[in-house]
Amino acid sequence: MDDSQTRDCKAFGTWQTEDAAAAEFDARIARSGLFERTYQEVEGQYLARRPGRESKDARIDRVLVPGKRLRDAGWTMTIGVEIKRSGADIGPAISQAIDYTYCAWHVRGVDVWLYCERIFLWPFRPQHGSLASVMVQNGIGTICDDIKARPEWSRPLIFTLEKQVITLDGEYQLDKCSPTVAARKVGSR
């Protein structure tokens, strides 16, 4: 594995804690205005238990409900987001996200259950090769920025699955929205 591949397997940025990474993510999402609702620290329950696994409840960092502009552009799926501190390894985050694809999320304030068809990991760059294939098969994506030499707070957000599916420009205007086919196949490839 070369240095760029190793670097891509670690969360980017300078956020020393998960709370700092979450604050940055929340600020960028709020500036975008693309989501009708953002729920934090949402508890969930697994829809299916796998034999031999420990039994416990789940908690995802964010659940995003698409707003009108995003729905009009073709994205209607509720999004789950798992947030990590800078430098965190992507392997455990992917495992956690795969587990979360088997969950329903209970938004207590409005007493509603939501299912997130896609789970994204912040702040991670898009993955490649076999790891990317496993992620796409499970509906797991990444959220990153464009790494241009600008302050982090002004960089656009890019949601990636098998391709860039939601891209915000530097002014947080919707630049691209493309519905996805990730996680639709079953069985042999």
Instruction: Give the mean pLDDT of 105-126.
Output: 93
Give the model confidence (pLDDT) of 69-91 as tens digits. Answer: 999 998 999 999 999 999 999 99
The whole-angstrom separation of Cα 61 and Cα 19 is 10
Q: Selecting from 3.40.1350, 3.30.70, 2.40.160, 3.30.2130, what CATH number does the domain 3-177 have?
A: 3.40.1350
Residue from 114, 94, 111 nearest 47 by CA: 114
Helical packing angle, 90-100 and 129-137, nearest 10°: 20
Instruction: Give the mean pLDDT of 180-187.
Output: 57
Residue 149 has a pLDDT of 42
Q: Which of 73-87, 150-164, 175-189 ranks highest by mean pLDDT?
A: 73-87
pLDDT surpasses 60 at 53: yes
pLDDT surpasses 90 at 103: yes
Strand ordering across the sheet containing 158-160: 112-114, 103-107, 35-46, 58-66, 79-83, 118-122, 140-144, 158-160, 164-168, 174-177
Instruction: Give the mean pLDDT of 38-58.
Output: 88
